Amino acid sequence: MNGLRFSLALAAGKCAQFAMRLLGKKATYLPGKLALRICPDFLSRIGKPDLLIGVTGTNGKTTVSNMLCDLLIGFGEDPVSNRLGSNIDAGAASALLEAAGLSGRCRRKVGVLEMDERSAARIFPAVKPNYLVITNLFRDSMRRNAHPEYIASLLDRYIPSETRLILNADDPISSNVAKLNSRVYFGIDPLPFEPPVRENLVVDARLCPICGEPIQYDFRRYNHIGRAHCESCGWVSPRGDYQLISADREAGLMTVLENDVWHDYRMPADAIYNLYNAVAAVAALRTIGYTPEQIAEGMEKLQVVQSRFWQEEIGNWELTEIMAKGLNAVACSRNFDYVANAEGKKAVVLLLDDVFDEKSSSENIAWLYDADFEFLAEEDTVQVLAVGARCLDTRLRLLIAGVPEDRITVVRQAKDAAAAVDLTQCGKVFVLYEVYRQKQAVMVRNAIAERMRKA
């Protein structure tokens, strides 16, 4: 009976995929959803590639998955992946469905699946990746993720015991999941060009993951990312098996130390979070067995898609648009930090309200008080525009953060944001937007660019 259900799910999923493609759709969610509806254990039954790499974590998993896919393609592989679609169970099912033949066996040797960390229970036991990269664990939407320790407990519970882990040594939370699993670590030494560390409101790893006593940070990069130790039980952050020890921004090279031997790789981008993504990808590929030379050659050709970052110089101004991820305080804080580090006078447009809550509910704005709006209170941030339905909450948050009232502009509708930017006061304008507000952000950005061109 179960075999029949699986065959039916496979056939229905394949038909749905075919029909949707005819209609010009990506078919990266619904076919998998349909297959799972017909056969709930479809993910367990569908064929997997011989080598399957999972990538999960709060931030960076899409970039790392894409890098791994591109590098593997460069090595002549044809990886099955969900890069064009969903990272929950239906997305994984759709990807595996596409790679499967009519018998359900996988026709590809290698796969890279981005896996939503909150969906661990539904994906990991069924898919059983051979390798799993965990980029980091931060607090994210409280509605979905509760808190990072909860997500870590899910990973602990559902990561298959045979999966080899590739973990961020500089994250005391994610580096301690599934302690019995075989693992390697990646990490980054303090780099000379890093800006001074700002105090964050949120440091989620304050207590020892082993004994629960307070830990001391020897070096803290941001939030709980850094190296720490516990004086009570002796726990220390692990040293990276793949440790980025230097990065030359001018030459565009990063040096990774591995077993006392260093290897140079091309840096795909020089922001610290991109370096974490890059060294995670290197660690994964080395663990699988690719040589440093192969990886270095692959990274020479690697193009990181900068869909989340756009910058242009227009007349006397520099205009920058960055995806900031609403409801995700750490991702927003990283961008506030980036803005604060930019030299010169600047205006910041905040388009951070949750799209779905705006339509049907009322957004839980607690996350605003975990995000470091204090970084925007520095002298050279001459204007902050709180845009959207939650503009009054954002204004209050900015005031509490210490942003003077006369630097805050409240704009209720995105269409009015560009006109409200005071271009006479600043040389740089930043548009920070929530993922699902990209269209709005582009509209605002284009309107600001137009004003800059006409000025």
Task: Check residue 364 for interaction with another protein (CB under 8 A).
Answer: yes
Task: Check residue 232 for interaction with another protein (CB under 8 A).
Answer: no
Task: Check residue 201 for interaction with another protein (CB under 8 A).
Answer: yes
CA–CA distance, 286 with 366 (Å, rounded to integer): 41
5, 393, 420, 447: residue in contact with another protein (rule CB under 8 A): 393
Residues 6 or more apart in contact with residue 286 via CB below 8 angstroms: 242, 258, 292, 295
207, 296, 342, 420: residue in contact with another protein (rule CB under 8 A): 207
Q: Which stretch binds another protein (CB under 8 A): 10-18, 237-245, 296-304, 392-400?
A: 392-400
Binding letters toward another protein, positions 54-83, x by CB under 8 A: ------------------------------
Residues 6 or more apart in contact with residue 339 via CB below 8 angstroms: 346, 348, 375, 376, 381, 430, 432
Nearer to another protein, 46 or 324 (CB): 324
Nearest Cα to Cα of residue 187 among 247, 110, 131, 242 = 242
Binding letters toward another protein, positions 322-341, x by CB under 8 A: -------x------------
Query: Which one-letter amino acid corresponds to residue 442?
Result: V
Closest approach, Cβ 171 to another protein, in A, equals 16
Task: Check residue 369 for interaction with another protein (CB under 8 A).
Answer: yes
Q: Which residue, chain included where needed, has tokens 């690697």? A: 302
Closest approach, Cβ 121 to another protein, in A, equals 9
Q: Which stretch binds another protein (CB under 8 A): 303-311, 344-352, 366-374, 440-448?
A: 366-374
Nearer to another protein, 278 or 350 (CB): 350
202, 244, 332, 351: residue in contact with another protein (rule CB under 8 A): 202
Task: Check residue 404 for interaction with another protein (CB under 8 A).
Answer: no
Task: Check residue 413 for interaction with another protein (CB under 8 A).
Answer: no
Tokens for 81?
A: 């992946």
Closest approach, Cβ 383 to another protein, in A, equals 17
Nearer to another protein, 130 or 136 (CB): 136
Q: Which stretch binds another protein (CB under 8 A): 18-26, 272-280, 333-341, 395-403?
A: 395-403
107, 143, 301, 415: residue in contact with another protein (rule CB under 8 A): 143
Point out which residues bind another protein (CB under 8 A).
Answer: 139, 142-143, 146-147, 149-150, 153, 201-202, 206-207, 212, 214, 329, 360-362, 364-370, 392-393, 395-396, 399-400
